[in-house]
Amino acid sequence: MGGWLGNLRVTGRVRPVWSIDFVTSNSNKIIVIGSGPAGLSCTMALLKKGIQVTLLDIGVRKPGDSVKANTSDLDWDNAYERLVNPQGIPLKTTFGSLHPYNQNISVKQTGCMLVSSQSAGGLSAVWGRACLPYTDLELSGWPVRYEELRPYYQFVEQEMMTLHCANPSQSAFPYHSPTVKALPVPKSLGRIAKKLQQYFEVVSARIALNKNREHACSGCGHCLAGCPEDVLLDFSATINRIKEMYPNFSYVPHIKVNSFTETEENVIVQGESLKGEGEAVSMPADKLFLACGPLATAIIVLGSQQEKQDVEILDSQYFFIPFISLKPLLKTEELANYHSSCQLMAEHLNSRPWSSFSPPNVECGDSSPLSEPCGDESPHSKNPPIGLNGARTTNRTHLQFYFYNEIFERVVFHKLPFMKRFHFALMPIYRRLGLVQGFIHSDSSAKMCLKKAENGGFELSVSKKAPSGIKILPPILWKLLKAGLIPILPGLQFKLPGQSFHNGGSFPMQSSGGFLTTEANGKLRGFNRVYIADSSAFPSIPATTITLTIMANAYRVGDINA
Ligand SMILES: Cc1cc2nc3c(=O)[nH]c(=O)nc-3n(C[C@H](O)[C@H](O)[C@H](O)COP(=O)(O)OP(=O)(O)OC[C@H]3O[C@@H](n4cnc5c(N)ncnc54)[C@H](O)[C@@H]3O)c2cc1C
Ligand code: SF4
């Protein structure tokens, strides 16, 4: 670890653990908190401007750290065990480890399930790596337009990941990187896509792969349980890459930040070391960028001031629809060698005829009234784009298609153990099985409220129920059926708020707004030196994948405030 950290000393329980060098220096010092996709993108932007950046992070590492190439000794049964149980599919693990979800924060949750990662690289150890950008439709009501985000998407897609996309040209979503056909995709996908195209806006899946990866995809199909070849993007490896590239970068893991205090000269970050005896940490900086994910960022902000005791957190709720196809989806030989990440995406346009629009008087960043009827989300934009059949579109429901993978087989064996004997006889059925993972816009989802509790901890509960979320499903089920994919209704699951991992909006960017909203540049109102770099600053949580935009926006916030 270079620079001032070389002098790190811990000598007592309540004292700054950082060196005198750092405390007294006046050079431009910036602290970023969190090493997930948001924190690392923001850090990259600042480092590129030649600024000295210290990244503070809880930074738990996964056991065995990076598992590569030699797959023979991996315990796949253990890796799948937690993924498959009678309750359905619980939290995704990485080789059976739940380390990305370890959390030692005190939040009592009622009716919701919001996770705060404390892992090096954040939730990127387990994420699905599906990456679509937002368009101006998704950015309705934001003070930032697609054109402003475009250069940052470009940077992120080209410099921080390799984005695999089977067919980038055929899409309503712009693509910012050269085509890389790196993952084996079943040929029969083209036929399924064609069928779905009649009812949905079909998009080729885009999967984020590690930059500079050493191994090619072997097509082993274990993507959902852990990639043995390190092909799928996990940002814990990116931290080392940044360390090698920039001498002015310091990474300090095992620090849990609790709060910050702003003075005229600086902002002081307070926390505790999770190593040793839990010494207190106090660290000054010129500017602070918070990128801990929506729950942890909100806890740090609420823990830093007296006035406000609660914040609302938005969610893009999600659902599972298992289905069986009338015709085989995959050929038998295709079951053996392909990747099992999301393979196809489709957008369902929630629309109503233009004539029925009377655009409400919505302020920038205001979420639409919850009383809006189903599937007819209130338009933030006065000119919503034209969707299928010439109807004006208000927002999308995002669908991700997963075809055969080992989990299907294990679910069948779990529920019907005697079927193990008929493993091969079941092949024709597996070839027809699939799963849709769908996400709805935050306007149609429940909202959560995070409050300071009297015992000093925090409480998270549902503040507003999903006004229309569940009603979005029938047209989608009907269209799947028309496309020849029969929904298995007993398997349908509508998940709790928070479970989608697509959330934020607690300190929304607004052109003009009140205390603890953010300016369009990410600065937290009420403070002069504090910026929000993660999805906490999103004015809404659109249905499509969130992380690419988290990264592009974090890069933008770092770049314009360096
Ligand atoms: C199973 C799963 C599948 C997903 N699939 C997709 C997908 O396919 N596509 C997609 O776009 N998104 C997906 N996501 C969501 C994606 O992982 C998140 O959007 C993304 O990780 C958010 O990045 P972040 O940097 O804001 O926060 P995180 O990734 O949560 O990182 C937070 C960082 O902050 C640090 N931290 C937290 N609290 C503190 C504290 N008090 N002090 C110091 N450091 C702290 C943590 O150590 C961590 O490094 C998925 C998530 C999961 C769990
Ligand atoms: S199929 Fe999935 S898990 Fe296997 S090497 Fe390729 S990307 Fe990794």
Work out the pLDDT band at 184, boundaries 50, 70, 90: confident
pTM: 0.89
Report the candidate in 103, 128, 131, 104 with the shortest Cα–Cα distance to residue 117.
103
Tokens of 213: 């990866």
Residues forming beta bridges with residue 392, ordered by sequence position? 352, 386
| Residue 217 beta carbon below 6 angstroms from any ligand 2 atom | yes
Instruction: Report the domain count for the chain.
Output: 1
Contact 526, 511 (CB under 8 A): no
Please state whether 141 falls in left (phi above 0), alpha (psi between -120 and 50) or beta: left
- Residue 429: CB partners within 8 Å, gap ≥ 6? 324
pLDDT beyond 90 at 50 = yes
The most confident of 44-58, 151-165, 167-181, 346-360, by mean pLDDT? 44-58
Work out the pLDDT band at 165, boundaries 50, 70, 90: confident
pLDDT beyond 60 at 270 = yes
Atom of ligand 1 nearest to the CA of 100: 53
Identify the pLDDT of residue 65: 53
Work out the pLDDT band at 71, boundaries 50, 70, 90: low
| Residue 96 beta carbon below 6 angstroms from any ligand 1 atom | no
Cα(91)–Cα(108) distance, integer angstroms: 19
Residues forming beta bridges with residue 268, ordered by sequence position? 261, 284
Amino acid at position 159, single letter: E
Amino acid at position 88, single letter: G
Identify the helix (H) or strand (E) that includes residue 349. strand 344-352
Please tell me the distance between residue 204's alpha carbon and the centre of ligand 2 in angstroms: 18
DSSP string, 138-173: TTTT-SS-HHHHHHHHHHIIIII-EEEES-TTS-SS
Strand-by-strand arrangement of the 52-56 sheet: 249-252, 52-56, 29-33, 287-290, 530-532
Contact 486, 274 (CB under 8 A): no
pLDDT beyond 60 at 208 = yes
Please tell me the distance between residue 218's alpha carbon and the centre of ligand 2 in angstroms: 6
CA distances from 359 to 265, 391, 394, 444, 540 (A): 45, 15, 11, 17, 17
Tokens of 500: 């989608």
490 C-beta neighbours (distance < 10 Å), count: 6
Secondary structure string (H, E, C) spanning 89-140: CCCCCECCECHHHCCCCCEEEECCCCCCCCECCHHHHCCCCECCCCCCCCCC
Tokens of 53: 């950046």
* φ/ψ (deg, to 5) at 109: -110, 130
pLDDT beyond 60 at 367 = no
| Residue 223 beta carbon below 6 angstroms from any ligand 2 atom | yes
Lowest mean pLDDT among 145-154, 213-222, 283-292, 298-307: 213-222
Amino acid at position 84, single letter: V
Please tell me the distance between residue 116's alpha carbon and the centre of ligand 1 in angstroms: 7
Q: Which residue's CA is the closest to the ligand 2 atom numbered 8?
A: 227
* φ/ψ (deg, to 5) at 224: -80, -15
Q: What is the mean pLDDT of residues 208-224?
A: 88
Work out the pLDDT band at 72, boundaries 50, 70, 90: low
* φ/ψ (deg, to 5) at 67: -95, 125
List the Cα angle 521/527/528 in 5-degree steps.
65
Task: HSE, CB side, 13 Å, CA atoms: give it for residue 507.
Answer: 34
* Percent of the chain predicted with pLDDT > 70: 83
* Percent of the chain predicted with pLDDT > 90: 53
Residues forming beta bridges with residue 319, ordered by sequence position? 438, 494
| Residue 33 beta carbon below 6 angstroms from any ligand 1 atom | yes
Q: How does pLDDT run across 383-410, given as a tens digit for each residue?
A: 444 443 444 456 889 999 999 888 888 8
Residues forming beta bridges with residue 515, ordered by sequence position? none
Identify the pLDDT of residue 166: 74
Q: Which residue's CA is the closest to the ligand 1 atom numbered 44?
A: 57
What is the span of the domain harbouring residue 142? 3-560
| Residue 232 beta carbon below 6 angstroms from any ligand 2 atom | yes
Identify the pLDDT of residue 383: 45
The single-letter DSSP state of residue 196 is H
152 C-beta neighbours (distance < 10 Å), count: 26
Atom of ligand 2 nearest to the CA of 227: 3
Identify the pLDDT of residue 232: 92
Q: Which residue's CA is the closest to the ligand 1 atom numbered 21?
A: 123
| Residue 182 beta carbon below 6 angstroms from any ligand 2 atom | no
Contact 221, 228 (CB under 8 A): no
Cα(236)–Cα(256) distance, integer angstroms: 17
Lowest mean pLDDT among 210-219, 235-244, 473-482, 531-540: 210-219
| Residue 218 beta carbon below 6 angstroms from any ligand 2 atom | yes
Identify the pLDDT of residue 69: 39
Tokens of 395: 């927002």
Amino acid at position 286, single letter: D
> What CATH number is associated with residue 106?
3.50.50.60
Cα(239)–Cα(145) distance, integer angstroms: 30
Q: What is the mean pLDDT of residues 543-549?
A: 97
Residue whose structure tokens are 């598992």: 67
Q: How does pLDDT run across 4-34, given as a tens digit for each residue?
A: 333 233 333 333 333 323 333 344 589 999 9
The single-letter DSSP state of residue 524 is B
Ligand 1 probe mutation, 33, 281, 292, 502, most atoms within 8 A of CB: 292
Quick one: which ligand is closest to 129's CA? 1
Ligand 1 probe mutation, 127, 239, 435, most atoms within 8 A of CB: 127
- Residue 48: CB partners within 8 Å, gap ≥ 6? 559
Cα(115)–Cα(467) distance, integer angstroms: 23
* φ/ψ (deg, to 5) at 274: -90, 5
Q: How does pLDDT run across 187-205, given as a tens digit for each residue?
A: 888 889 899 999 999 988 8
Contact 255, 32 (CB under 8 A): no
Cα(286)–Cα(528) distance, integer angstroms: 10
Ligand 2 probe mutation, 127, 230, 232, most atoms within 8 A of CB: 232
Atom of ligand 2 nearest to the CA of 218: 5
Identify the pLDDT of residue 421: 82
Report the candidate in 185, 195, 205, 191 with the shortest Cα–Cα distance to residue 480.
195
pLDDT beyond 60 at 105 = yes
pLDDT beyond 50 at 59 = yes
Angle between the N-to-C axes of helices 37-48 and 236-245, in degrees from 0 to 180, rounded to the nearest 10: 10
- Residue 505: CB partners within 8 Å, gap ≥ 6? 294, 312, 313, 314, 367, 442, 535, 536, 538, 539, 540, 541
Q: What is the mean pLDDT of residues 27-52?
A: 93
| Residue 222 beta carbon below 6 angstroms from any ligand 2 atom | yes
When comparing pLDDT for 500 and 19, which is higher?
500
Atom of ligand 1 nearest to the CA of 297: 38
| Residue 220 beta carbon below 6 angstroms from any ligand 2 atom | yes
Contact 17, 273 (CB under 8 A): yes
Identify the pLDDT of residue 120: 93
Please tell me the distance between residue 64's alpha carbon and the centre of ligand 1 in angstroms: 20
Identify the helix (H) or strand (E) that includes residue 280. strand 280-285
What number of residues does the chain have?
Answer: 562
Cα(279)–Cα(257) distance, integer angstroms: 12
Question: Would you call 401 helix, strand, or coil by DSSP?
Answer: strand
Ligand 2 probe mutation, 66, 206, 227, 334, most atoms within 8 A of CB: 227
Report the candidate in 130, 138, 118, 185 with the shortest Cα–Cα distance to residue 161.
130
The single-letter DSSP state of residue 384 is P
pLDDT beyond 70 at 358 = no
Work out the pLDDT band at 247, boundaries 50, 70, 90: very high
